[in-house]
Each structure stands twice: as C-alpha cells, then as structure tokens.
Amino acid sequence: MKAHITLLLILSLLLSCSRKKPSVTDRINYDKGYDYLEASKKDSAFKYFNKAKDDFIQKGYPSYAGNCLVLMGIIQCEAGDYYGAQETALSAIKFLDKKKDSVEIVSNYNNLGISCQKLKDYKRAAEFYNQASVYAQDSIKRFTLLNNMAVSYVYLKEYNRAINIYNSILSSNMEKKSIIFSKVYDNLAFAKFKQNAQYDAEYELNEAFQIREKLKDNDGLNASFSHLTEYFEDRDTITALFYAKKMFQTASVNNSPDDKLEALQKIIQLEEPENIKTTFKQYQNLKDSLETARNKSKNQFALERYDSEKFKRENIEKDNNILKLLFGVAALIVAIIFIVIGYRRRQLKLKQEKEIEIKNTQLKMSKKVHDVVANGIYQVMTKIENQEDFNRDNALDELEFVYEKSRDISYDKIGEEKEFSKVISELIASFNSESVKTFTAGNNPGIWEPISATVKEEIYQMIRELMVNMKKHSQASHVAVKFENTNNLVEIQYKDNGIGISGDLIYKNGLRNTASRMEAINGTITFDTKIEKGLKVNLSFPVS
C-alpha cells in the first residue's frame, strides 16, 4: 500500500505536464499534504489534501482536485476507515479525465476494490478491480489488478473464474522469477487447493515462497506463510504452526497489524491449549489497540471533512442571501403572471366542463331511453310472443309500467318496489319459451342485501341487455345465469349455447352499454368467445 501511494505521487507529477498546471500559490496546501505524506504523517496529509481539493475546485483544476480525493481515499483505507474511503473515492471519479488521468483512475478503482474486499463485499471488489484494469497503462499493473480480482473470486468460492484469470496471466510473457509471477503462481496453487482440499499444492506454494525469499519480497512472504499455514492445517499441525509463527514474525517486520492479527488468530487455532492464553492476550491487546487507533483516525477524517463542508456552507449561505432577494422579486413577478394565466385557463376549463356535462347528460338520457323504453317494450313483446296465456290486460299493465317509467326517466326504482332477487328471476324467466329455456342459480336474497339501489338498477339493465341480445342474435336454446358472492365480490356468469359472437363484433351487438355500466360500478366484464359453442360472459363487481 505504501508503494502504491509513492508510485501514484510520482506518476501524478510526471503526468502534470499534460494538464492545466496550477501556480505555486494555488498549490500551497497540496505541496504541504505531499510533504506530510512522505513523512508518514497521514492525518496531517489528509487535512491539507482536503484543503487543496477545495482550492483546486474553486480555481478550475479538476484533475488536481481528483488527485487529492484519490490520495485522501487511500489514506482512509490504510487507516481502516473503509466506508469513508469508499465515499471519498467515489466522489473523486467525477473530477478525473479518462484520457489524461488514467493513473489516478487506476489507483482510485483499485482502492475501491481494496476497501470493498476489507468489508467482505467481494463481488463489488471484483468489479472495481476489473474497472481499474481497463485503464492500466502497463502490463505489470494490469496483471496485479487482475490478480486482485481473482482473489475476490476465491473469496466468493468462484474458483474456476479465479483459476482461469491466474492461468491467463501466467501464459503471458512475464519474467518467471519476478514478484508478480510469484504472487500469481502462489495464488493459483492456493485457489486449486481451496477448490479441492485433496490437491497437492505443496511444491507450487514452496516454489513461490523461494522466489519471494530470493527477491526479499516481505509482503509476498507474508502471503506465502498464510497460504502454507492453511494448507498444512489439516495435514501437519506442527508444520502449520511453524508457518503461522513465521507469518507473525514477517508481519512484525513489515509493521502490518492486520497481518499480525491474522497470524495470531492462526496460532491460537493451532497452538497447544496450555500455550493459548498468552497468545490470546497478545491478540486481544493488538486488536483493541488497532481498533482504537482506527476509530481515532475515522473521527478525525470525519471532523476534517465536516469542518470543510461547514465552512463552504457558510460561504454559500452568504452568497445565497443576496440571491434570495432577487429570486423573491422574480418569483413574485412569475406568480402574478401564473395567476393571470391560471385564471384564464380556469375560466376556459369551466366552460369546457359545462359543455362535457351537457353532452354526458344527453348520453345518459339516451341510454335510459334505450334501457327503459326500448328494452321494456321488447320484453313485453317477448312475453306476448312466447306465452300463450299472456292476456291483453297483462300486456296493457306491462306497457303502462313502461309508460310510467318513461315519464320519470331521470329516476328509476328498479329493485326497490319488490325484493330484488325476485325481480331478477322474473326478468330472466320472461325470456323463457318453447324454443328457449332459461335457468337461474344462486339468485338468493342474501346476495343483494348489501347492494345499493343504484348498483341494482345497473345490474338489472345489464342482465336485460344480455337477455335481449340473446333473443335477437344468439339462436340459443338454453341460457343459464349464475350468481355468487365470494369475498365481498359479486360474480355473475351468463352462458348460452347459441352461435356465439366474435370479439370484434361484441360492441356492435348492443352490448356497448353493458361494458360502460360495469365501469360505472367499478366492475369488470369478460367476454369468452373462444368456448366450443355459444357465448360466455363473466360480470364481477365489489359489494361496497
């Protein structure tokens, strides 16, 4: 990680010639942050990089502002503030130019991958490593990022993906005794072992270890000791314990507290019970000390960002006070304009609504004339035609009823004078003849008790519409109407054995009113025209 920061700073300086360069005065805080970072005073470095970032944003140096945020994110990640590191790194992306700032972009995505991996979000870590590899300018850096991505896949137990990546790296023309080769070679052997616990990875793990030892790659040696410990854990406890202690020694030389904790944890698992107490106490003390230091850094980073944002907010508020007055005047003028426009639109809308109301009234009256007069007279004609004992007086009574209804056509009381289930039964039975047999099922009084008079009127008219349509068009010999109340939903099923009707002709056969009535009572109507013979219509509507 330290090498990563140093490399980033050096390359940033080399690439600065392709950017708009800030003056010495503009970069005072940046240079101070750089000096503190080289002196390993990372808290102070973070503070001055944060100030420099604000300077660069204000003075128009976005790439330098992005560079500051990348460095701040890396500092946070090294200090264990992984969530803070992610937030800072993500905010850096918008300032970096994909063509000019590829070095910073690589480091930034790599840092996001590291922080995600530390938080055990391995899937996102792999994604960030992959994004970083796209911008990598040299093969070693790209191989390193692909190696990191493969490590994430090992954590995810997607061993085949990891192994394929390792093999693709090793198949390139890289130096066989290099740090990157030993890293990938070691990780490949370890991935095969994790995939299959019986895999003999000892030779490969030792070969990678020997390369690292010759190169004095202490970070790499730490990884080798960790892998060898895990490999021998279930094979040879004494050997595994030996490598765990070697890992602790190397981590101590590297001053890597996380690796020391991991080594102590392995030693505790492998050590004899009588020796565990001392090791566990050492582990606990190191863990507490590390958590305290990291919490302190997290708080300091958060306070620094908060103070910076607070200062910016105060300056913005001062500027906003002037703008508020201007906006207030402008808003008043706009409001007056909108009031005038709104008033005129309101007048126009009222006029249009009045015209629509008149048209709806005319349509409603037309529908009532059809329902009450036309269908009523047709019902009387049907009775006269089909019932031999239907005498003249009864016909006159029926016609007088239609006449009375037409006189007060604006209000009907269908279903209020007589119990509604009987009204429905009589309606359906009135279409019974020698050629047509009608059947009713489930039409009991309880179904209609909670139904309002208005809805009853609509249901009456709809059923009559269906029966009239049947009589006129269907040539049916059997008609059945079934009623059912399920979970406060009334369902009416009409079915006949006539010639049926195609879907595109439904609304051309007098059934247009039926569909519109169902909409008025929040119900649904379904025409099943695909049955083997006849027509099936399902009506349903809520009780309330």
- Enter the tokens of residue 487: 């979970």
* pLDDT on residue 68: 94
* pLDDT on residue 502: 67
User: Is the CB of residue 70 less than 8 Å from the CB of residue 8?
Assistant: yes
What is the rounded CA–CA span in Å between residue 79 and residue 6?
Answer: 16
Q: Kindly report whether the global pTM for this prediction surpasses the value 0.85.
A: no
Lowest mean pLDDT among 96-110, 275-289, 311-325: 311-325
- Reported residue count of the chain is 544
The dihedral built from the CA positions of residue 341, 344, 348 and 351, taken in this order, carries a sign that is: positive
* pLDDT on residue 319: 55
User: Is the CB of residue 536 less than 8 Å from the CB of residue 450?
Assistant: no
* Half-sphere exposure in the Cβ direction for 14 (13 Å, CA): 9
What is the rounded CA–CA span in Å between residue 450 and residue 456?
Answer: 10
Q: Is residue 528 helix, strand or coil?
A: strand
Q: What is the mean pLDDT of the chain?
A: 84
* pLDDT on residue 94: 93
Q: Is residue 491 helix, strand or coil?
A: strand
Q: What is the pLDDT of residues 436-490, one digit of tens each?
A: 999 999 999 999 999 999 899 999 999 998 998 888 888 899 999 999 998 889 9
What is the rounded CA–CA span in Å between residue 495 and residue 499?
Answer: 12
Query: 212 pLDDT exceeds 80?
Result: yes
Query: 38 pLDDT exceeds 70?
Result: yes
What is the rounded CA–CA span in Å between residue 295 and residue 76?
Answer: 11
Nearest to 364, CA basis, from 406, 410, 402, 415 = 410
Indicate the pLDDT class of residue 125, thresholds 50, 70 and 90: very high
Query: 512 pLDDT exceeds 90?
Result: no
Indicate the pLDDT class of residue 372, thresholds 50, 70 and 90: low
* pLDDT on residue 401: 59
What is the rounded CA–CA span in Å between residue 328 and residue 344?
Answer: 24
Percentage of the residues of the chain whose pLDDT score is greater than 70: 80
- Enter the tokens of residue 369: 């004339």
Which has the higher per-residue pLDDT, 345 or 227?
227
Which distant-in-sequence residues (6+ apart) come within 8 Å of 348 by Cβ? none
**Which of 64-68, 345-349, 517-521 has maximum average pLDDT?**
64-68
User: Is the CB of residue 84 less than 8 Å from the CB of residue 301?
Assistant: yes
* pLDDT on residue 104: 93
* pLDDT on residue 272: 86
Amino acid found at 124? R
Nearest to 517, CA basis, from 356, 370, 351 = 370
Q: What is the pLDDT of residues 258-291, one digit of tens each?
A: 899 999 999 999 988 888 888 888 889 888 888 8
* pLDDT on residue 174: 84
> At what angle are helices 122-135 and 102-118 packed, to 10 degrees?
170
